[in-house]
Each structure stands twice: as C-alpha cells, then as structure tokens.
Amino acid sequence: MALFEAKNVTKQYGDKLALDNVSMSVPEQCIYGLLGPNGAGKTTLIRIINQITGPDSGELFLNGKKLIPSDVQVIGYLPEERGLYKKMKVGEQALYFAQLKGLSKAEAMKRLKYWFKKLDIIDWWGKKVEELSKGMQQKVQFVTTILHEPKLLIFDEPFTGFDPLNTKIIKNEILFLRERGATIIFSTHNMESVEELCDNITLIDKAKTILEGSVNEIRSKWAANEYDLVFDGNVKIEGNGHYNILNQQTDSKKSIIRLKTTSDISTNDILQNLMKSGKIISFNPALPSMNEIFIRVIEARN
C-alpha cells in the first residue's frame, strides 16, 4: 500500500517548467530515493509535499486521501538548507519545535532527552546553536525532524556536514526509523547512500520522471550483458566472437574476470566454453552501481 502518491504533478515558475506531469508512489514503511541532478525539480516537489507551495495541476495523496494543509503535522522535513536559530540555546529551540508539532512539554522533554542521549549531544543542551559544529547542528535538526514520530519523513541531503562516523550513525538511525514503521523520502546526490538505504527510487531530470522502480530491479535491468567470473587458481582467458574480456585480476588462489557478451549466446553456452579453462567458483551478472546508472541515464538525455 502506498503511504504517499503524487499523480501528474505540474509546476511552472514564469517561463521555467519545474515539474512536468511527475508521478511517484511511495510504499508504506520504505525508504524512497528522490534523485536527479541540480535543477531537476526535486526541491520543487518536496516544497509541494510540505505545503510550502502548490502544484499548478495534479494531485497528491497521503494514506489514500488528498493531501491537505493540516497534514504537515504528520510530516517531518529536514531541508538541505538548515533552519536553526543561531543565538538560541539548543534545548530551548528543540523544545520549541517539538511543541509546534503538537507535543506537550512533558512528552517533548521525555523524547528529547532520549534522542539527545542516544546521539551523544546531551552535553550541548544549554549551549547556543552557534557554538556547535555543523555536524552537531545537523544532529539537533535531525532530532527535531523525527521527534513527533511523523508518518512521512523527508530528508534532503541529510548527511551534509557529517564526518564518516556520524554519517554511519545517522544512516543506522534512518534504518531504525523504517523498522519502527516510518516511511521516508530521501533526496541525495550520494549514490552510495542510495544503494545502502533505498528500497525504491524515482529519478527526475529536466522536470520529468525518467526512471523509477525498486533499486534491485533497476540494477538488474541495467546489467548490460556484463558478468563477473571467478576461477579457482591462476587462470587467464581470451575473448572470442561471443564475449570480450573487460578486466582480469589473477593470483595463485583465484582469478576474477569481467566479461561482456557480444552476441545472443546463452549463459549456459558461455559457461560450457569457460569450463574448459578451469574450475569456476562463481558466475554472476555484473550489476552496475546506481552511480553508473545515474550517469548513463542523464548523459543519454543530454
């Protein structure tokens, strides 16, 4: 079941078409990647979901019902451009945002203390925001985004400002939130994070949806007739009329080879031919990374 749906959403600013009949369906309790190059239309769609602006045409649904202004209370939004008040104390500010989302002061304090301790920022409670590093500020804003346990979370480049250790911590927390039932729209340029976190994606370019589906299915579809082959021991093979050798790495224990088929030969026939060269340990499709797919799709349109 889809928790959130956008159907044929169009938005224009003057002569610029920001979204052109964009649709997406976000399943309940999944992490959904919203991808695209700069200027593709991602931020416009996120602003529409958050009721900051409205579409010129098209419809949006939350839990099967049309999205209405009051639904912002069940949405958590972490924008790419952060919005903390620099001169305000961290604890006071977090408490203020929590109460804006409808939590009582007592419940807000209880949840804030839990998350501040969990993310190791409790010692910063009485400090001003301007005294915190960019990464620490990001942790505070992450907490204020998730504190009211919204049905839908939207993270726009959530790892900006984090070192590798804190990036790992927040990635684990995002996975934890999904396990607890949250549905997450995740916008990023980091394709490695997409592979680690996302179940499904939509790729937007020049205001249009150009790729969508599950990450695993998309990677399989774009495998491009390439295969990874592992032999036992030191083995070298040559290409022939049916396949080319793209890369070989050999040592005394094993040989790792990538090949690309150049004809309609079946994988069974390839394997029969290759088994003449030695003992095969594994033979699998060479799945392209999401970064490779992203570049191929965008370059094909330019």
Mean pLDDT across the chain, nearest whole number?
A: 93
| 201 C-beta neighbours (distance < 10 Å), count | 23
b/e 241-279 (16+ beta carbons within 10 angstroms → b): eebeeeebeeeeebbbbebebeeeeeeeebeeebeeeee
Distance of alpha carbon 207 from alpha carbon 282, whole angstroms: 42
What is the average per-residue pLDDT within 226-244?
Answer: 92
What is the average per-residue pLDDT within 247-267?
Answer: 90
- How is the chain split into domains, by residue range? 2-219, 224-286
Q: What is the model's pTM?
A: 0.86
What is the average per-residue pLDDT within 252-273?
Answer: 90
Phi, psi of 219 (to 5 degrees): -65, -40
3-state secondary structure 273-296: HHHHHCCEEEEEECCCCHHHHHHH
Residue 188, both tokens: 């990023």
pLDDT at 302: 74
User: Would you identify the CATH topology of the domain 2-219?
Assistant: Rossmann fold (3.40.50)
Tens-place pLDDT, residues 180-232: 999 999 998 888 899 999 999 999 999 999 999 999 999 988 888 899 999 99
Q: Is the pLDDT of residue 300 over 90?
A: no
Q: Is the pLDDT of residue 41 over 80?
A: yes
Specify the DSSP class assigned to residue 189: S
